[in-house]
Amino acid sequence: MKINIKGTGIALTPSIKEYVEKRVESLEKFLRNDIENVLAEVEVGMSTHHHKSGEVFRAEINLTANGKKLFAESEKEDLYAAIDEMKDKIERECISRKDKRQTLAKRGEAIIKKMIRR
């Protein structure tokens, strides 16, 4: 898995990089076996919404795996909380995609079984 990390409006420290890499690498178990072709582009930084007071951090991920693109973003007052929520959202996307693929395969199996019985 290739991970590109970009910092917008903040200094990208080694601890932030390490934290993001650790969270993104935990997604490998939800992806297919072809991990080398997976590209994860992560952007962390400050949000510039004028209507919100205080510091608001945002984390965003674009995950490209086997020709499919997944996206998740999060905004929180804590950078690490935003990264965690982003990881949870993209994890749900991966699980949903896997479930849809399995459901489609099971429907195909049922159709073939029905054809054989006739």
Q: Got the DSSP string for 50-67?
A: TTS-S--EEEEEEEEETT
Enter the DSSP assignment of 79. Answer: H
- What residue ranges do the domains of the chain occupy? 2-117
* Count, residues in the chain: 118
Tokens at residue 35, please?
A: 């991990």
Report helix, strand or coil for 7. strand
Q: Whose structure tokens read 């919404």?
A: 49
Beta pairing, strands 2-8 & 57-65: unpaired
Give the mean model confidence (pLDDT) for residues 37-54. 79
| The model's pTM | 0.78
54-105 per-position pLDDT tens digit = 778 899 999 888 788 889 999 998 999 999 999 999 999 888 887 777 787 7
> Using CA atoms, how far apart are residues 57 and 52, in angstroms rounded to an integer?
11
- We find that the CATH architecture of domain 2-117 is 2-Layer Sandwich (3.30)
